[in-house]
Structure 1
Amino acid sequence: MRSWLIGICLVATSLAAHAQSRMSSAELSYQYNLQNEFLMSHKLASQASEYKLFLHFSLNSGNVKISDFEIKYDLRSDYMDERDVNSSIQIDSTNVIDVAFREFVFEVPFSVENNETIMVVDVYNIQKDKHYYYDIPLKVGETAPASFLVYQAEKDIPLFQKYLNKGIPVRFKKVFGQESNYQISGMENNRAFPAPPFDEAERGAPLRISIDTLFGANENEVFTFHNQGFYKISASNNTEAVVPLLVMDNFYPYYEDYSELVKPLVFLSTNEEFTSLRADSDTRAAFELFVQNTISSNEKMAKDFIKYYYRRLRKSAWLFSSDREGWKTDRGMVYQIFGDPIQVFRNENTELWVYSSAKGGKMRFVFELTIEDGLRKYKLLRGKRYREDWMTAVTQWRAGRIIE
């Protein structure tokens, strides 16, 4: 096993007491819990050493109010770097640029020194005396963020979603005031289904099929995507820094037809079952027959399966969509079958998810960070050790038992 893999496990188990000062030992599972008392997302833009953070903070529980929270940030050289005393900077009402019902958007300008690679946001619930930590890498690989962002068409705030439904207008806008023209290139979203965690076979990359020709847009011009796909947007004066954008159909993360509804069943079906599902000309009948014969003939159990399994697909869309649907990513696949991880730890290179194992003890999934198409992606380090737990969980789903 690689030394850095051993390192992250040691960090997760032996340095938990230092979570307040070191991000590598901060427990981050709340970020994947969509029932958490608050939800956060962000967008980052840069120009030379000047940065701007846009932070979307949503109160997600009726038991909390914005005055319950104190939000601060500091900049560090890496995940092992401890916070300097008195280095934290307050984010407060002076940073607010938009307010909706229990939602707040903060704009935070800051400067970065050469050795600073990560921003750590500390959200402190004063009433509970509890800290939540939110890590924001300041570069994608070696590339600083672009100096522009995708904005909503009718509000002067960035698009925070991990995907855009086609037909919804947006704008491309320089964050630091200068104007530019923009180039937009797209590829078809033809990504394959992820292999199970125990399948270590190498798979070839899918064909990169371009969408039409190169599009163009002017500064602040309202632009509408009419085709699904994965797009890369760049300013004409700097084509290296790109803003990636996944464009999905009007219904995503819901489903318009049964031909799409059967695809996520790949995790629960045998090869023969899945081939039959995809080949049947009446996909609705095939889907209903699969649920009735494989999951349960009991109407309530069948409805519960559909409700909970496809609700988790929607959660994966909100959490993990990147250049593909959220459930097609490695983290989305694990999340789909096992649900919210008990613990999550992260450093510059890896992310570790911890679950209870059906065999007793803990089950650990390690995802390795890769950079591709201007995106940070996490690739699961697969191994045969996952087979038993995976097959046990799949069997439970197929028996109509909901894993929550």
Structure 2
Amino acid sequence: MSFNFLQMRQFPIAYFILVLLVSACGQPNNTSRQIQPVVTTAYTAQQRTPEIVMQPEFYATQDSLHFFLRFEDIQQAVEVAKSAAMLTFDVRSGQAERDPLLFQDSVILGKKLTDAEGQLYVQIALEKQYIKEPNVLHVRLWQKQGTQDQLGMKQKVALKVAMLRKNYLLTFAKDGKPVFKPYIRSTDKLQVRRFSESTDTMQIHRFASDFATALPPMSAKQPAALPKKVALDTLFAATNDTLQFSEEGLYVLAPGSGFSKAILVKAAAYPQLTTSKEMLEPLIYLTTSAERQKLLQATNTKKAIDEFWLGISENKAQARELIREFYLRVEAANRLYTSHKPGWATDQGMIYIIFGKPANISYAGANTTWVYRQSETSPNMRFVFTKKEDNFTENNYELVRRREYEESWYNTVAKWRAGITNL
């Protein structure tokens, strides 16, 4: 039985006569039929605010920990490789800027590594002595702004002794670049690169990825602990073997080793959504139980989705704008918050889709706090996510749910359903 995200509330929305979007006219039902991805580069480049993120990957040698840092703008508003000027990084004995400084350095990005997509790759190394708790790597990327440099993004990486036991990299077979993200596509071919003399084969477990979708932020029911799953398959990979995970699911490399790596394997277009079934699933955050039941039982899923959006819009133009904004956020959530399940289905993904990018993010121990500034007359809204340790992923953050989120949640969902996209 699914939680009703919109229960006990009436929305101030006028429903209009339902008409089909042009793309749905006369199409037979097929929930896996390929449709055009929602994202359009021309739109994002002209109208969206840059959102630069960093994905780290690493391997250890005898005396150092080597980092590969990948930077991209998930909103596709700027080419990071062209705008980046310098990378500064330091190691501190904690998350705060005021914590004691242990080491610092910088990289002038004339020696950067880029690719055809305009993404930026930087390599740095830290001596073994700094890799221990509670030390944290603080990274800042500076961008060119006229004759001056301005801060483009900053991010932190917790340093743990266990990282020194990771002597391998999972790379793409076609170009040797590390697999930075916690997901790959079922068409990708990979290799394991070793940075030690070990000739041991690597064990890989495949699990079903049928984890529950995030509960609403005001839910009195806290999410259950991740269930203990039995591996569906066990694979073995030697150094430089070419791997391809054709079956979708959650793959865990080197399980139980202290440096395991979890990869969610999805269809060929992920993180984009290209089928009616994929576009239906995230609508759980905007729909009532009755609406979801109607969508699930529809004989033509694509037509039913179009009718839902048209039903909460004044016209086709507004419906197209709502669809574009909503699924751009879903794709961004997939890029940013994929863990043991798709990013849109995580607690962080849910909040990002409905409320957008937070105005401020702060860190304290295992907690990450997102702050949203609602208005001059309303207090700031804060969502606190706690990092959960599990056997699958390092990217599992659970929202601390509170009843007082109820009004803000329903009001924001009501804005979506009223056709307001500038949230």
Flag whether TM exceeds 0.5 (same fold): yes
Aligned residue for 2:56, secondary structure, equals strand
Q: Supply the AA of the counterpart residue of 1:362.
A: N
**Pairing partner for 1:162 from 182, 198, 202:** 182
Residue aligning to 1:80: 96
**Pairing partner for 1:91 from 86, 96, 107:** 107
What residue ranges of structure 1 are gaps of 5+ in the alignment?
Answer: 1-33
Once residues 45 and 82 of structure 1 are traced to their aligned partners in structure 2, the CA distance between those partners, rounded to angstroms, is 28
Cα separation, partners in 2 of 1:335 and 1:398, compared to 1, 3 Å? same
Q: Supply the AA of the counterpart residue of 1:147.
A: N
Cα separation, partners in 2 of 1:179 and 1:116, compared to 1, 3 Å? farther
Aligned residue for 1:120, secondary structure, equals strand
Cα separation, partners in 2 of 1:100 and 1:203, compared to 1, 3 Å? closer
Q: Supply the AA of the counterpart residue of 1:377.
A: N
Residue aligning to 2:382: 364
Structural mapping, 1:20-99, within 5 Å: 35-36=49-50, 38-46=52-60, 50-58=64-72, 69-80=85-96, 82=98, 87-92=103-108, 96=112
Once residues 125 and 306 of structure 2 are traced to their aligned partners in structure 1, the CA distance between those partners, rounded to angstroms, is 53
Task: Please say if 1:264 is aligned against 2:282.
Answer: yes
Q: Deviations over 1:257-303 (max 9, x none)?
A: 3222111111111122212222333322322222222x225111111
Q: Supply the AA of the counterpart residue of 2:388.
A: T
Cα separation, partners in 2 of 1:356 and 1:106, compared to 1, 3 Å? closer
| RCO higher in structure (CA 8 A, sep ≥6) | 2
Cα separation, partners in 2 of 1:255 and 1:157, compared to 1, 3 Å? closer
Cα separation, partners in 2 of 1:153 and 1:35, compared to 1, 3 Å? farther
Aligned residue for 1:265, secondary structure, equals helix
Residue 157 of structure 1, CA deviation: 2.0
Q: Supply the AA of the counterpart residue of 1:91.
A: V
Residue 377 of structure 1, CA deviation: 1.8
Aligned residue for 1:159, secondary structure, equals coil
Aligned residue for 2:262, secondary structure, equals strand
What residue ranges of structure 2 are gaps of 5+ in the alignment?
Answer: 1-47
Once residues 322 and 396 of structure 2 are traced to their aligned partners in structure 1, the CA distance between those partners, rounded to angstroms, is 29
Aligned residue for 2:166, secondary structure, equals coil
Q: Supply the AA of the counterpart residue of 2:185.
A: N
Residue aligning to 2:5: none
What is the alpha-carbon root mean square deviation over aligned residues? 2.9
Asked if the contact 2:135–2:158 (Cα under 8 Å) also holds between the matched residues in 1, the reply is yes
Structural mapping, 1:205-284, within 5 Å: 205=225, 210=230, 212-234=232-254, 239-284=257-302
Structural mapping, 1:96-115, within 5 Å: 96=112, 100=116, 102-113=118-129, 114=132
| Aligned-pair identity (%) | 23
Residue 387 of structure 1, CA deviation: 0.6
Cα separation, partners in 2 of 1:177 and 1:298, compared to 1, 3 Å? farther
Once residues 70 and 40 of structure 1 are traced to their aligned partners in structure 2, the CA distance between those partners, rounded to angstroms, is 14
Residue 179 of structure 1, CA deviation: 4.1
Q: More displaced, 47-56 or 187-196?
A: 47-56
Residue aligning to 1:308: 325
TM-score by length of 2: 0.78
Asked if the contact 1:55–1:107 (Cα under 8 Å) also holds between the matched residues in 2, the reply is yes
Task: Please say if 1:321 is aligned against 2:321.
Answer: no
Task: Please say if 1:380 is aligned against 2:390.
Answer: no
Once residues 370 and 176 of structure 2 are traced to their aligned partners in structure 1, the CA distance between those partners, rounded to angstroms, is 36
Residue aligning to 1:134: 155
Cα separation, partners in 2 of 1:208 and 1:259, compared to 1, 3 Å? farther
Asked if the contact 2:133–2:159 (Cα under 8 Å) also holds between the matched residues in 1, the reply is no
Q: Supply the AA of the counterpart residue of 1:387.
A: E
Cα separation, partners in 2 of 1:338 and 1:58, compared to 1, 3 Å? closer
Q: More displaced, 272-281 or 226-235?
A: 272-281
Residue aligning to 1:147: 167
TM-score by length of 1: 0.81
Residue aligning to 2:415: 396
Count of aligned pairs between the two proteins:
367
Asked if the contact 1:312–1:336 (Cα under 8 Å) also holds between the matched residues in 2, the reply is yes
Aligned residue for 2:406, secondary structure, equals helix
Residue aligning to 1:196: 216
Structural mapping, 1:342-361, within 5 Å: 342-357=359-374, 360-361=378-379
Q: More displaced, 358-367 or 325-334?
A: 358-367
Cα separation, partners in 2 of 1:331 and 1:219, compared to 1, 3 Å? same
Q: Supply the AA of the counterpart residue of 1:383.
A: R
Structural mapping, 1:173-188, within 5 Å: 173-176=193-196, 178-188=198-208
Once residues 139 and 332 of structure 2 are traced to their aligned partners in structure 1, the CA distance between those partners, rounded to angstroms, is 23
Q: More displaced, 334-343 or 246-255?
A: 246-255
Q: Deviations over 1:69-101 (max 9, x none)?
A: 221222222113646679412234697566556
Q: Supply the AA of the counterpart residue of 2:238.
A: N
Residue aligning to 1:290: 308
Residue 381 of structure 1, CA deviation: 0.6
Cα separation, partners in 2 of 1:349 and 1:240, compared to 1, 3 Å? closer
Residue 47 of structure 1, CA deviation: 5.0
Cα separation, partners in 2 of 1:273 and 1:65, compared to 1, 3 Å? closer
